[in-house]
A and B are shown apart, each in its own frame.
Chain A
Amino acid sequence: MCTVAQLTDIMKLARSLVLVLLCLLAGLTASAASDFPQALSGLAEKSFKKRLGAINAVAVSGHERAQTVLEALAQRRLFVANPGKRLVIKTEAGGYQMAVTGEPAGEIAKPALKRVKTNNRLRKVIRNALGTLTLRSPDPARRLAAAQTIFASRDASALPILEVALAAETDIQVRTVMERARAASTLMGSAGEADKLEAISTIRQMGNQDAIALLSAFGDRAKGAEKAAASQAIAEIERTLALWSGAQNVIYGLSLGSVLLLAAIGLAITFGVMGVINMAHGEMVMLGAYVTFAVQEVLRTSFPGLFDWSLLFAIPLAFLVSGCVGVALERGVIRFLYGRPLETLLATWGVSLILQQAVRTIFGPNNREVGNPSWMSGSFELGQLALTWNRLYIILFALLIFAGLYAAMRWTSFGLQMRSVVQNRQMAGAMGIRTKWIDALTFGLGSGIAGIAGVAISQIDNVSPNLGQSYIIDSFMVVVFGGVGNLWGTLVGAMTLGVANKFLEPYAGAVLAKIFVLVFIILFIQKRPRGLFALKGRGIEA
């Protein structure tokens, strides 16, 4: 009884053997680079076997035209032109050129042309032959690409070619990929157990999804020690991958957390320190983003060379614009509402509507294009992690702002006055502190920081009049979760929520993850109404 699987195995074996033989044959003739025209003429032969041999001969010849010809053959653009059995290639433009030299072949009548036929088997051979050619290309990038192609095709027949190429290879990076390709080919071929085990360990070191796919394909047909080694390797890779994806989640989470931190930290001052509910806080962020847009527009049209510095101009400007709006808001509305938080909430919501509509009227309702400076675009790899520069910069930027603000609150005289006003207004006033000024400036500081956050957020999010709305609830959640009146709480709160969100996302999807986090916070404040870093004591109950 001969099962289908056995049959295909036998056929594969036979095919490999044929291929190896052919390769050897090709190797014999390879020295004769001048034999290219002759090898080429073999392509016009009727016999399948001869054409097969000719393909390899062309490939091994290493002739500069070899690749063009083989590609044309693969794309069914190679024809035999009668009379004279000249091989011609149909060009993209529609004309014909001589296969041997690449010179124009002149006008040829349709009936005189006969296409060189290929079938699946031939096409596979051509692919490999092309691979061989590029494996020996003088350009390392092309060699690398060729090795990667072979790895992906897992073609056992490529093994001899790889060996040859490896022996000559000097570039470390290309070498590694070639070794992997060789390991892949070994696994798929008929090598001995020792070779295969070694190949497994080579593949294992790759440690990515490709490796898993290859090993499991191999493991499906392997037996005994080979199968065990393969599944062990898969398990190991999966463990490492889980670690990497954990690390990835943490980093993405920190990146999201930094955005939350940026959005919330100004709120931690206005809400946390002053106890003012500013529903227009999100709009301060939005104003910062639009300042960035405006700065970039001006630079683009007037000083294109300075575009990379746009954020440097935008940050202080955004701080000023949002800060001034903040001071105006405090002086114009909020100061009349101290001690009436619910009214403050409503009035500032009104302000937020007005600011949104104002921006919509001036800049239009659609998303505005804000560009990344060149030093912020692009990405880099760290192990299995793909990180974009702008995410990394935003994490750093958020931490920098946090540190700066913390230092300002802690060590500057403004910070001291601010804290004293918060703790005991009358006493601070009696000591000669102009409490009203401090109120206005504190509010301005919180709003200004929101503006700076807007500059950062413009780099990763759409800049539209609704920008602020999408951050306001999250920001409040961060401040409430972290504990009101505590900057550290805001930092920890933002990062925790960011990371939690990213860990939930793979299981629940982005929207559901967000819902989970919201529900969690709703439940959390029931348990700890004053947040993570709560102040305890009699005074705060009052």
Chain B
Amino acid sequence: MSVAANSILYLDGVTVSFDGFRALNSLSLVVEPGEMRAIIGPNGAGKTTMMDVITGKTRPDEGDVRFDGKIDLTNLDEAEIAELGIGRKFQKPTVFEHQTVEENLSLALAGTRGVLESFLWFASAESNERTDELLETIRLTSVRKALASSLSHGQKQWLEIGMLLAQDPKVLLVDEPVAGMTDSETEQTAKLLREIAKDHSVVVVEHDMAFVRDLDVKVTVLAEGSVLAEGSLDVVSVNEKVIESYLGR
């Protein structure tokens, strides 16, 4: 259990099936505190389902999912898990299109989740300062008053990452952050994530090999719902099984 105890995320033997199709097949994965981990794998390997399980959207049929070494996540719902400190970015950028960039971030700010509490909430110097800081980090200060719907695709991705940061989570789950980004945006995103990884644990799911190489972190390869290989990108990319099932010859 010491592995579990020292981890920030711990998945053991997690299985999920949908109508007979095994989306996750006895998946086991350990993420250490402060670690950044890249997850790659072909379509249908179970990457998104794994995130669903961790964030409480999907309940596993069997297996153990623990956070921070002890907390069992399988009985909690999305909001409870989010409050524990697990933030998630969706594959498709999901921000509140009809609100400004600022408002988006302000809604994500940690604290104030109750109904009455948020009814009576007023922006404070502190919260404004924190918003400014976040805007700086995600490089959106210049468009702070703009509606989220007017942002470019890449900017929406950053805004969503910013909202994650505003939650002040311990772990960030980031699903395909650079899908559909231009090269320079991709590069900036990698920089942003590395910066974030300095004081957060981050799990990144990505297809883009150049981006993963850019991140330069430990890589886990998923296939058919379980772990195929683990190690640095250089190690896994010469792994026979990985080449066969994913990278191709």
A537 to B48, CA, bound (A): 12
In the assembled complex, the Cα of A21 lies from the Cα of B5 at a distance in Å of 107
Q: Is B35 an interface residue (CB 8 A)?
A: no
Set of chain B residues within 8 Å of A535, measured between Cβ atoms: 19
Per the bound structure, the CA–CA distance linking A538 and B22 in Å amounts to 12
Q: Which residues of A contact B52 (CB under 8 A)?
A: 538
Cross-chain contact B23 with A538 (CB below 8 angstroms): yes
Fill in one digit per residue for A525-539: 1 if any B CB lies within 8 Å of its CB, else 0.
Answer: 000000000011110
Q: Which A residues, 380 to 433, have Cβ-Cβ distances below 8 Å to chain B? A: none
Nearest A-chain residue to B18, judged by Cβ? A537
Q: How far is the CA of A282 from the CA of B232 in the complex (A)?
A: 62
Chain B neighbourhood of A536, CB < 8 A: 18-19
Which residue from chain B places its CB closest to the CB of A537 in the assembled complex?
B18
Closest residue of A by beta carbon distance from B48: A538
B21 interface contact, C-beta 8 A: yes
What is the 8 Å Cβ interface bit string for chain A, positions 499-542, against chain B (1 contact, 0 not)?
00000000000000000000000000000000000011110010
> B37-75: contact bitstring with A at CB < 8 Å (1 yes, 0 no)?
000000000001100100001100000000000000000
- Say whether chain B's binding surface is mostly helix, strand, loop, or mixed: mixed
B19 touches A538 (CB 8 A): no
Chain B positions within 8 Å of A541 at CB level: 57
Residue of A nearest to B23 (CB): A538
Report the separation of the CA atoms of residues A373 and B217 in the bound assembly, to the nearest whole angstrom.
Answer: 80
Closest-by-CB residue of A relative to B20 is A536
CA distance A536 to B58 in the complex (A): 11
A541 to B51, CA, bound (A): 14
Residue of A nearest to B92 (CB): A542
CA distance A507 to B73 in the complex (A): 47
Residues in A with CB closer than 8 Å to B19 are 535-537
- Please name all residues of chain A whose beta carbon is closer than 8 Å to the beta carbon of B21 when the two chains form the complex: 537
Chain A neighbourhood of B23, CB < 8 A: 538
Q: Mark B14-32, 1 if CB is under 8 A from A, else 0.
A: 0000110101000000000
Nearest-Cβ distance from residue B83 to partner chain A, whole angstroms: 22
**Complex Cα gap A500–B52 (Å):** 38
What CA separation (Å) do A538 and B49 show in the bound complex?
Answer: 8
When C-beta atoms are compared, the residue in chain A nearest to B46 turns out to be A538
Cα A536 to Cα B18 in complex, Å, equals 6
Give the CA-CA distance A541 to B57 in the complex, in Å: 10
Q: How far is the CA of A505 from the CA of B48 in the complex (A)?
A: 49
Q: Which chain B residue shows the least CB distance to A541?
A: B57
13 contacts between A and B (CB under 8 A): A535-B19, A536-B18, A536-B19, A537-B18, A537-B19, A537-B21, A538-B18, A538-B23, A538-B48, A538-B49, A538-B52, A538-B58, A541-B57
> Contacts A537-B19, A538-B58 given; 11 further ones with Cβ under 8 A?
A535-B19, A536-B18, A536-B19, A537-B18, A537-B21, A538-B18, A538-B23, A538-B48, A538-B49, A538-B52, A541-B57
Which 9 pairs from chain A and chain B are nearest by CB?
A537-B18, A536-B18, A536-B19, A537-B19, A538-B49, A538-B18, A538-B23, A538-B48, A535-B19
Which residues of A are interface residues toward B (Cβ below 8 A)?
Answer: 535-538, 541
